[in-house]
Amino acid sequence: MASKSRSSKITRREVLGGAAALAAITIVPGRVLGGPGKTAPSDKPNLGGVGIGGVGYWQIQQCAAAGFHVAALCDIDDVMAAKTWKKFPQARRYRDFREMLAKEGDKIDAVYCATPDHTHAIVSMAALKARKHVLTAKPLTRTIAEGRMLAEATTNAGVMTQMTASPASTESGCRACEMIWDGIVGDVTEVHIWSNRPLWPHGMARPKGSDPVPKTFDWDMWLGPAPKRPFVKRWPAGSLEMAQVKAGGHYPAVYHPWNFRGWIDLGTGALGDMGCHHWNIPRRALKLGHPTSVSASSTKMMGESWPLASIITYEFPAREKMPPVKVVWYDGGLTPPRPRELETGRKMPTSGIIYVGTRGVMMGAKGGLRLLPDSKMKSYTPPPKTLKRRGGIYGEWYQAVRGGAKPSEHWPDCAVPLTEMVLLGCLAVRTGEHLQWDGPNMKFTNSPAANKLLKPDYHNGWKL
């Protein structure tokens, strides 16, 4: 009787993870198994998606391609979400993620979150409390304290988590690590990272007036914990903001869709958008932990929005056998000085990374990492491939949910410290101070003002 009782309580998550595979063996018809060469619908982890009208439209398709069954979808904008509803007609539809989690219960095994930055932590924490595996878009959180809370909750929940940053576990990421560890440029003492972002308005003031909220859009739910403000649909013609929209080639919206990242209450600016992508490989290759300090210079701050351009400098202490290293970030069209090793006639890429070592220089972009000048790269014999190459964000997460190895962006191990590095730069921009960072104790030793910004200031009754 004890065995029968235990088998009746086996959860779907346990079966999919393999923990109860033997106890769950039974004979079922071929139509349930899916037929020869097909995956049984019951074998696919069921996924609930939150925020599926923007970048979520593409990313949730990647989740499905990796092996997930899209069982439920949630969005606050029916117009933006329409293409995703159509793509997955079998999925049950929701407007409020809390209702989705409550009603779906054990019918879903995992949650994908691609809401704006200011609601990442709230949605992700709710999913963790429901003991769901979670994949959240980068940056994982808008504040540093939120990230640390999610790391602890992930460990307590015993689930597999992932973030949509470009992984350091791919061929190009592993090759970069192996080349640096091979010592071809000696000890790396400086790193310069630059991005072509932003592609949306920055450096703006809140527009005057208000517009009616469309019936197809829940403005209050979209704002969530952010301070209340009137809904304004789009920037006026002839404004600097509209000029930025046209240059970026995206939506003329003031807040939604797409343009939330330029607002401090809602997004994390150009660094928050792209930093998790660009920082992931150097973080692994140089074994970066907590920086000791971070400082920034930028164009004029406008109070509620991120600046048009910034340069942010991090100082990291010696690590293992590696010397101290300075890492500098550039955005808004700013780039590092052109390396003298770069051949005449070769252009600097619009975004990329430069490693400056005691014996040479390497530069990386979409084409991969190479030594400068190119003649040096042609005569270089790369080291053996010693690192395991993995299949990318979505495949790694799928395999982890099925009981495999932890994904490379698992929150406590990677996504939280990676996001924290990015957010430290955001705080340096906001305060304009040379911040001294005590990472283990999560505090700045020289700035009470910056310390106040480590934790979220939630409004409208929301809490984590």
Question: Any idea which residue has 């003492």 for tokens?
Answer: 189
Structure tokens at 233: 């649909």
Q: How many CA atoms lie within 13 Å of 297's alpha carbon, on the beta-carbon side? A: 2
Predicted confidence (pLDDT) per residue in 208-245, tens digit: 999 999 999 999 999 999 999 999 999 999 999 999 99
Task: Please determine, looking at this structure, whether the domain spanning 171-199+268-391+419-439 carries the CATH number 3.30.360.10.
Answer: yes
Q: Exposure of 401 by Cβ count < 10 A (0-12 exposed, 13-18 middle, 19+ buried)?
A: buried
Please give the full DSSP string across 338-392, using - where no structure is assigned. PPTTSPTTPPPPSSEEEEEESS-EEEEETTEEEEESHHHHHT--PPP--SPP---
Band (pLDDT 50/70/90 cuts) for residue 143 is: very high
Q: pLDDT confidence of 456, banded at 50, 70, 90?
A: very high
Q: Which tens digit of pLDDT belongs to each residue from 362-375?
A: 999 887 899 999 99
Instruction: Indicate the pLDDT class of residue 25, thresholds 50, 70 and 90.
Output: very low
H helix runs in 199-350, sequence order: 219-223, 240-248, 269-285
Q: Is a pLDDT exceeding 70 seen at residue 376?
A: yes
Written as one letter, the residue type at 76 is I
Q: What is the mean pLDDT of residues 113-124?
A: 98
443 and 420 Cβ atoms separated by less than 8 Å: no
Query: What is the rounded radius of gyration, in angstroms, for the C-alpha atoms of the chain?
Result: 23
pLDDT of 367 reads 72
Whole-angstrom Cα distance, residue 143 to residue 329?
19
- pLDDT value, residue 37: 40
Q: How many angstroms separate the CA atoms of 96 and 107, rounded? A: 17
pLDDT tens-digit series, residues 269-279: 999 999 999 99
**DSSP 8-state symbol, 413:** I
The H-or-E segment that residue 144 falls in is helix 144-157
Question: What pLDDT does residue 87 have?
Answer: 98
pLDDT at 34 over 90: no
The structural domains of the chain, with segments of one domain joined by +, span 1-39, 171-199+268-391+419-439, 219-262
